[in-house]
Each structure stands twice: as structure tokens, then as C-alpha cells.
A and B are shown apart, each in its own frame.
Chain A
Amino acid sequence: MRLTHLSLRDFRSYVEVELPLDAGVTALVGPNGQGKTNLVEAVGYLATLGSHRVAQDAPLVRLGSERAVVRANVVRDDRALLVEIEITPGKANRARVNRAPVPRAREVIGILRTVLFAPEDLALVKGDPTERRRFLDDLLVLRTPRLAGVRADYDRVLRQRNALLKSAGAGIRAGKGDLRTLEVWDSHLATTGAELLAARLDLVEVIRPLVDKAYDAVADSGGPVALDYKCSLGEDVPLVPDRDVLSAALLSEISNLRRNELERGISLVGPHRDDLLLKLGPLPAKGYASHGESWSFALALRLAAYDLLRSDTDEGGEPVLILDDVFAELDVGRRERLAGMVARAEQVLVTAAVAADVPEELAGARVDVMAGEVRRVR
């Protein structure tokens, strides 16, 4: 799939902008702070209804305006679609597809699929486990929309259970209080947790070789890289993606941890305590990898996601690949290898502060971005 036209109104720094796009590579070039990333952020927002930079919508709307509009022409399977999103902070977004309003904005998720790599992704390697869990879960939801419900349910079960552990803990320690309500939340945590866990384990199996392949292609040395799913269930539990087995394992671990959980007032076992361990050779990437290696690893994770989504058939073809400010951080060898990998993609949007950072192989269209204006120069 690809974008043929992007238009923004009151989005970030832009009052109004029209950007026609072609298949293949488009480089958005301009000095810092001119609005390159805002353009790709808008594309990402259209695909996921979320920004890769901020959690709230308010910063997306130009200062002084009430709402922002992102509109794009998308071609998938040779069919042209016009997707529009109106972002009003504090209110529900409104969306239209081919000028017809859709009942819920989230129905446009998936019409455009993107894989976005941005400097923020360095946190995938160097940051907290939260970042890596989000990487897995976001990818799960993209591939299986039903899991969005499981993920939301799990978060809610967790909040309810923690609230109960906090309030019940005091009562039970004082010798009164009822464990039966807690057992209900135990079972819900185990069922939804097992479903999420099974899906994650499946996913890790599928992307493991893809990440290794991508890292190898970008870095050409330093590997092999490995992914290990680190589960809060402990080492003795065999991690098989079977919901019944996992659910039983979670339940038994919950009962082992009962006293501890009541004392601390939080849930100590479940997919919310897991991590994806990234290893470079024999060592964990976090704390051991150099800046360049971490950068390459983060990039490899995104490229693996891209590879995976591309291989999912019936989804309107290849996702649009977005590389935000990636080349400046890579040495010449890695730049060229990355360029070789992505040059054949259906559509790639690249941002760079200096035109010379964009490798020769990616010499497609070029758009200069300056003070909120875009100008096609090639």
C-alpha cells in the first residue's frame, strides 16, 4: 500500500500543507525544527490513532486552534481510499473514509499500515521493560485486532486487582476480610493474562529469526542477536503458547505469592511484569551495547516488524516504511546496507536534516521542508 497525498490542517506547526507523494523513496530534508517529523508523525497517527512522540493529543493541534485535521489518499490493492481524521483534544476523534463518517474513529486503524522508526525507539533497547512490552503488544494488535480487547481487559483486571490487594491487604492482615473476591480477580487475571502471554510467545518465535536477519543486514558484525522472553512465572515453567497451561501456571504462581502480594498491594506475576531480553552475542544489549549497536538493534526490531507485516497476506500489501532521522546516527557502512534493504520497499518516507546523510541508493523524490512549507525539489 502507499500514500498518494497527505494534507494537514492545524497539525503541529502546520497551518495548512499539501504533500503529493509517489511510490518508492521520498526524502524529507530540512534543518532542525522545520517540521519534517511532524509530517511523518501525522502519517503514523493516521495508521494507529496515536503519536510516536506524545501520549496526549493536545500537542498535535497547532497552538491557538481547536482541532487538527489529517487527510490522506491511500492506495491499497489498487483501490483508492480517502481517510480523514479530525483531532480534537479532550473529545473523541472523528473519522471519515471516502467522505463517509465512520461510527468509531478506531475503525480506520489498519486501513493504512505503517512501520515507523524514530530516535525515540532507542528506548526499546536502553529503556524500561514497558517499552519492549509495548513493542510486542502494538505489533500483536496490528496483526490480530481482537487482541486489542484482550490487552484492554488485562489492564483493567490488573487495576481492579491491585485496588483490591491494597484495600483487602490491610483487612486480611488484621485477621478479617474475605479472600473470595480476590480469587475471582485471580482467575480473570490468569485467563486474560494467559491469552496475552500465549500471543506474545507466539510472536517472539515468529520475529526472532527476522530480527537476527535484520540486525545482520544492518550491522554486518557484532551479532548474532537473540531475543528471550523473560517471564515473571520463573524459569521452571515451560513457556509454551498454550492458554490452558499458562493459565494454570499463573494461578499456581499467584497462590504462591499470595502473602507477598497482600503485603505489597500489587500484582507480582503476569505479562505486565515480563520483559523481552535483547542479547547481543552472549551479553544483554542493555548496559553492554554501544550507542551505535543499540541504535542498530532498535532499528532491527522495527525492520523485523516491517518484514512480518509485509508477509501477512490479505492486508493490502506492504506497510509504508517511515525512517525518521535514522541515517545521521549510523556509520557509512550501516547507512548503505540499510539503504540497500529498504530501497525495494513499496513506499519509504525518510527524514534527514542534511541531504548528504541520505544514501545515494535512496535517491528518489526529495522534498525540502522549511518553516512549515514543503517544496518538491526532485
Chain B
Amino acid sequence: MYEGVVQDLIDELGQLPGVGPKSAQRIAFHLLAADPVDVRRLITALTEVKEKVRFCRTCGNVAEEDQCRICRDTRRDLSVICVVEESKDVVAIEKTREFRGRYHVLGGAISPIEGIGPDDLRVKELMTRLADGSITELILATDPNLEGEATATYLARLVKPMGLRVTRLASGLPVGGDLEYADEVTLGRAFEGRRLLDV
């Protein structure tokens, strides 16, 4: 145990995801030794992130203004919405540069064990977005685990009466990898989802 404020700092840092007691201690002593200007900058960043960052009115992604950068971008395809669980999924998909539509961030997945139901996710907001009929395709890009699949099934059933195209991301083998290294479940799924090779 360290004295007073140092221990307080270590305790606070230890609350962060992926930071154990040893790392917290390392970061604390790094901050103690660091240039006050650098520390000041970190403090500003921390304060601003809580003050300035809001969630996009339309899609629920992190944004600095009322709407996020993607929703404001008029060049994007307004007829497609890709549904993801978290903001970090948006970043992952954006990196592919394959998708030119807009997103909808749910803020999690349905999981009764954790007490998360559709009302705790941004489902109502999604339905509002779909209501005006300008959307023609809904891509369900929730995580490929049980809760993600359940959420996708739930949404697919919910929007079915609207008659729009609903698609789910494929699951299968990682590209550039060796077949032999895939685990049985992934390989099994890939077999189920095999496609006709049209040449």
C-alpha cells in the first residue's frame, strides 16, 4: 500500500478494463515522473471526453455534435442501415471501406441473464428510422455469438412485416489463414454456409 493520493490513483486506474494492479502501479508512477504539461493534456482529454462526447441522435454512435460524422455525411447511401452492438464495431467496419451506408448502434445485445432486453437497447429508435420507408436493406452485424444471433433473430422478426431486405453477415473461415488451423465450430459453420462457385 502506498500513501494517500498515490494509492487512490492506483485504485482508480485499476478500475479500467484490462488494467491489473501491477499495470495500475506502473501507470501511476509513470504519471508521477511525467512532465506536468503532458499530464495536464491527459486531464483535459479526460474531462473533454465526458463533457463533449455525446451519442448521435440518429444512430447512437459516439459523436461530438448532435449527429455523428457518418450520419452527417451526405455522400453515404441513405437506403442501407447496418446494425451493430457497439461503437467500436462501427470503427471496425469503417476500416473495411466496403460499406457506404449508415449505422445503427444498439448499445449491446439481448441477454436475459444480464437483464438486458430489447427495451434496454436502441431498438425503438431503429424502428423509428425504418418507419418512413426510405430504407431498403437492413444488415444485421451483431456479434457471431449466441446473444448476437438472438438479437439478430429478434430484429429480423420485428421488421419482417415492413418487407425490407434483411441480411446477416456471413460466418466462416478467416481470410488468409490456413484451413487446418480453424477450430471445429468455425469450420463446421463454414461448411453449412458454403456457396455455389459459379464459373
Residue numbers of A with Cβ under 8 A of B are 104, 145-146, 148-149, 153, 156-157, 159-161, 163-164, 167-168, 178, 180-181, 183-185, 187-188
Contacts and interface: CB of A to CB of B under 8 A. Distances in A.
A160 B112 contact: yes
Contact of B113 (A104, A146, A160, A181): A160
Contacts of A164: 112, 117
A167 B183 CA distance: 35
A188 B153 contact: yes
Contact of B150 (A146, A160, A168): A160
Chain A binding surface, main DSSP class? helix
A332 to B, nearest CB: 45
B25 to A, nearest CB: 21
B111 to A, nearest CB: 7
Contacts of B147: 160
B185 A180 contact: no
Interface in B83-141: 110-113, 115, 117-118
B110 A163 contact: no
A185 B150 contact: yes
B118 A178 contact: yes
Nearest to A103: B181
A151 to B, nearest CB: 11
A149 B146 contact: no
Contacts of B188: 146, 149
B158 interface: yes
Contacts of A161: 112
Contacts of A153: 146
B184 A180 contact: no
A153 B148 CA distance: 12
Interface residues of B, number: 20
Nearest to B152: A184
B149 A188 contact: yes
Interface of B: 110-113, 115, 117-118, 146-147, 149-150, 153-154, 157-158, 183-185, 187-188
Contacts of B153: 184, 187-188
15 contacts: A104-B183, A148-B185, A157-B146, A160-B112, A160-B146, A163-B113, A164-B117, A168-B112, A178-B117, A180-B157, A181-B110, A181-B154, A184-B110, A184-B153, A188-B153
A167 B112 contact: yes
B150 A188 contact: yes
Given A146-B184, A146-B188, A149-B185, A184 B113 contact: no
Given A148-B185, A160-B150, 11 more contacts: A146-B188, A149-B184, A153-B146, A157-B146, A160-B146, A163-B113, A163-B115, A180-B118, A181-B117, A184-B110, A185-B150
Nearest to B156: A184
Nearest to A192: B146
A183 B150 CA distance: 10
Contacts of A178: 117-118
Nearest to A107: B183
A163 B112 contact: yes
A338 B147 CA distance: 49
A167 B150 CA distance: 17
A159 B111 CA distance: 10
A153 B185 CA distance: 11
B182 to A, nearest CB: 11
Contacts of B149: 188
Contacts of A180: 118, 154, 157-158
